[in-house]
Amino acid sequence: MMAASPRMRNALTLFSSTDCVLCHRVRLVLAAKGVTYDLVPVDPQNPPEDLVDLNPYHSVPTLVERDLVLYAASVVSEYLDERYPHPPLMPVDPLSRARLRLAMLRLEHDWVPQVQAIQLGNKAQAEAGRKRLKELLTASVPLFKASKFFLNPEMSLADCAMAPIIWRLDALGVGLPKDGKAIEDYGNRIFRNPGFARSLTEQERKLRELPQ
């Protein structure tokens, strides 16, 4: 980790793409915590010099707090949950925490690549991504039915990882499965939270309408 530039030492700063599920995940954690921060929009194809200096991978999301520089959505999200403990976004007991961490790992490894293939890939890659994402949604319907939030009775970091994907489904051209009302209800439950609206960039607000 490199030291933050002098102009960033006294503020919480997030380098973020304007339409990225991993960046949105971190912005949703910040919104849920009610944390004030400076947002630096980043074009991943042309990262700013500050980001190049701070992060050897030049990737987003990247969080800067004084001399601390963190990157990777999972690392940043867990840091924020511990740094700003209220409201807690992870359960207390180790078994439930491990279960949610495993779910978030599955999202990163299985779900996010499909979103990226649809957004950034060629036609064949995008179609394959849509097909696979629909399969993942179908297989997960029982999980959405089982609890008010994703694998947990209260909102957690897993919801912060899942909700940005659900928000983008229409824009990605991915319809819900036939028995997917539980997914729709889950999404609306999250989207009605005032923190979700605060997490959206201008570009993300245009993807769909917030439920009433």
CB atoms < 10 A from the CB of 126, how many?
A: 17
* Reported confidence tier of residue 11, pLDDT bands at 50, 70, 90: confident
**Distance between CA 31 and CA 50 in Å, rounded?**
24
**Distance between CA 156 and CA 144 in Å, rounded?**
14
**DSSP-derived secondary structure for 4-29:** PPGGGTTSEEEEE-SS-HHHHHHHHH
Q: Contact 181/145 with Cβ under 8 angstroms? A: no
Structure tokens at 112: 């996010």
Rounded to 5 degrees, what are φ and ψ at 17? -70, 160
CATH homologous superfamily for the domain 6-83: Glutaredoxin (3.40.30.10)
The residue whose two tokens read 């694998």 is 151
- For the chain, the 3-state helix, strand and coil shares in percent, each to the nearest 5, are 55, 10, 35
Total-model pTM: 0.94
Write down the catalytic residue from 4, 12, 14, 20: 20
Of the candidates 6, 28, 1, the one whose C-alpha atom is nearest the C-alpha of residue 14 is 28
Q: Tell me what pLDDT residue 212 has.
A: 83
The residue ranges of every structural domain in the chain are 6-83, 94-205
Largest Cα–Cα distance of the chain, in whole Å? 53
CATH architecture for the domain at 94-205: Up-down Bundle (1.20)
Residue 91 gets which letter from DSSP?
-
Q: Tell me what pLDDT residue 8 has.
A: 52
**Distance between CA 99 and CA 33 in Å, rounded?**
22
What are 140-183's pLDDT values in tens digits? 999 999 999 999 999 999 999 999 999 999 999 999 998 999 99
What are 23-81's pLDDT values in tens digits? 999 999 999 999 999 999 999 999 999 999 999 999 999 999 999 999 999 999 999 99
Average pLDDT score over residue span 183-199: 97
**Distance between CA 140 and CA 205 in Å, rounded?**
26
The pLDDT of residue 1 is above 90: no
6-83 against 94-205: fold identical: no
Q: Is 20 a catalytic residue?
A: yes
Q: Tell me what pLDDT residue 10 has.
A: 54
The pLDDT of residue 100 is above 80: yes
**Distance between CA 13 and CA 8 in Å, rounded?**
7
